Structure 1
Amino acid sequence: MIMYSEAKTVKEKIISGIKGFGKIRLKTDHSSILTYTALTLILFLAFTIRLFPMRWEIDPATGKSNLLLSEFDPYFQYRFTEHIVKEGFISWIGWIDYQRWYPQGFNIARAAYPGLPLTAALLYGIISTLGVDIDLMSFCALFPAIMAILASLAIYFLGKDVGGRPVGLLSALILALHPSYIQRTSVGFFDDETIGILAMILFIFLFLRAVEENRHINSTIKYAIASGLALGYFCAGWGAAYYPIGVTVLFTFILLLLKRYNLKIL
C-alpha cells in the first residue's frame, strides 16, 4: 500500500512537471522576432555567398565538388594544421620546416603565427570526436566561411552596444557583403584573416564594455580580462594585430587629452 502511494506521488509529480513545462513561453515581442529573423538571414547570406567558389571545383566526370584550398599561403596553413593534428598541439614549437625554406629551414615557432592552425586543429578534433566524417582538407576549405558567420554575429553585438539593434544589423550586413572580406573568407582561403577579423571585433566589443562608466567593478574586471585574452589571441593569429593596439592606445590618449576618461581606462 505504501509502495502504491509512493508510485502515485511520483507519477503526479512527473505529470505536474510536464504541464509546467508546457506553460513556458519565450518572452519576445515583434521587434525581437524581426531582429532575430533578419540576423539569421544575414548570417545565412554570409555563409552561402562564400560558397560560390565551389562551382569551379565540380568534377565534370562525377558531378561532385572537391573542396580544395586557393592561393599559396593557405596550403602552408594547412600543412601547419596537419602537423598539429598528427603530432600534437605542442609539436610545432621545435618544428623546422624545410619545405617552406630550403636548405636553412623555416623556424615555425619564431616566424609563424600559430593561432589559425591551433584553432582549426582543435575544432577539427572536436567534430571528429563527435563522429563528423570530413577530411582535414575539406574542413580547412570550409573554415573561412564558418568564421565569417561568427564575425558577422560578433559585429552585430558590437553595433548593438554602440547604436542599438538597427546599427547592429547594418554592421552585420555590411561585413557579410563587404567585397574584401568576402575574398578573404571564401571557401578555400584558409589564412590568418579568417580568425583575425573575428578576434579584432571581439577585442573591441569587450574593451568598450570594460570601460563603460556605469558598469560594476567586478564586471569591468571580467570584461577587461576577456578583452586582453581576445587581443592575445589576435596577436597569435595575425600580424595585423599591431594596428588595433595602436588605435587603442591613441583612443585612450585622446580621451585623456579631452578629460573624458574615468578610472577604468587608467
Structure 2
Amino acid sequence: PHGRDISQTSQVVLHVTAAVTYWIFGGGMELYDFTILFPVVFGSLSTIVIFALVRVIGGTTAGLLSALFLSVSLPLIVRGSIGWFKSEPLGLFFGILALYFLLSGLNSKNRKVAIVKLIAAGITVPLSISAWGGSQFFIIPIGIFFLTLPFVRSDHKFIMWAIPLFTAIVFLVSLSFERLSSNFIFGLGGASLLIPTIFIVACIFIQSKSNENKKTRNGLLFL
C-alpha cells in the first residue's frame, strides 16, 4: 500500500548520474535517446580510466594494453551495449576511478595532492557501490592490499593517516545513501575496510616500538 521505497531499493547514483549528465550534455536530445547511449559512453570512459590506473602501477605501455584489452572485453560489451541502461558500466567506471585515485594518492609525493586524491577515492567508492552492488568486490582486494602496506612501505607516518582518512570518507559518504548506510558499514564491505585499517594503525605502532631487526617479524606475528 505504501509503494516502493526508491532510496532504499534503487541504484540512486545511476539515476542521478544519468540526470546530471543529461542536463549538462543532453542538448536537444530526448531523455530516452540519451539513456540508450548512456552505457556505451561510460563503458568507453572506463577504458580511459583503466589506462590511467594501470599506468600508475606498471607504466604507459601496460596502461595502453590494459585499455585495449578492456575495450574488447566481452562482458563489458555485453553489459554495456546500446540500450542497456543498467548499472554495471557506471559502477565499473566509478570503481576503476576510485582505484586510480587511491593508488595515485598513495604514490603522490605531494601530500596536499595525496589528500585530495584520497578524499576523491573515498567519495567515489560509495558512488560505485550505490550504482552497482557488484562493486563491493573492489573492496576485498583493497583490504588485502592494505594488509601488505606496513611491510612494503617505509613511509609509515604517511600511511598511518592516509588509510584511515580514506576509510573514514568511504563510511561518511556511504551514510548519504540509504541503500548502503548500515548494510555496507556493518557488512562484509565495511569489515573488509575497517579491519585492515585498524591492523595498519596497530601494526605500525607495534613496529615503531620494535627493534629494527624485529619489525617485520613482529608485524607478521600480529597479522
TM-score relative to the length of structure 2:
0.66
2:129 is matched with 235
Q: CA RMSD in A?
A: 1.7
**Higher mean C-alpha displacement, 112-121 vs 246-255:** 246-255
Q: Which has the larger radius of gyration?
A: 1
**Which residue pairs with 2:200 in the alignment?**
none
* 2:65 pairs with 1:170: yes
Cα deviations across residues 151-192 of structure 1 (Å, max 9, x unaligned)?
111111112222222111101111100001111111011111
Higher helix share: 2
Query: 2:144: which partner in 1?
Result: 250
After superposition, the C-alpha distances for 1:203-244 in whole angstroms (9 at most, x for unaligned) are: 1111011112x6121111111111111112213211123222
Partner of 2:115: 221
Aligned residues of 2:102 and 2:121 also touching (Cα < 8 A): yes
In the alignment, does 2:94 pair up with 1:196?
no
1:245, CA displacement in angstroms? 1.9
Structure 1 SS opposite 2:122 = helix
Counterpart position of 2:24: 126
Shift of 1:259: 5.2
Are 2:38 and 1:140 equivalent residues in the alignment? Answer: no
Tell me the percent identity: 30
Deviation per residue, 1:2-43 (Å, 9 max, x gap): xxxxxxxxxxxxxxxxxxxxxxxxxxxxxxxxxxxxxxxxxx
Partner of 1:82: none
Whole-Å separation in 1 of the counterparts to 2:11 and 2:97: 19
Cα distance in 1 for partners of 2:92, 2:109 equals 26
CA distance in 1, matches of 2:148, 2:158: 15
Gaps of 5+ in 2: 161-223
Deviations along 1:88-120, one digit per CA (max 9) or x if unpaired, are xxxxxxxxxxxxxxx563211111120111001
Distance of 1:192 and 1:237 partners within structure 2: 6
Letter in 2 for 1:137: Y
SS at match of 2:159: coil
Tell me what 1:264 maps to: 158
How many residues in Structure 1 have an aligned counterpart in Structure 2?
A: 159
Give TM-score scaled by structure 1 length. 0.56
Aligned partner of 1:184 in structure 2 is: 79
Uncovered stretches (5+) of structure 1, i.e. residues with no partner:
1-102
Deviation >2 Å, runs of 4+: 258-266
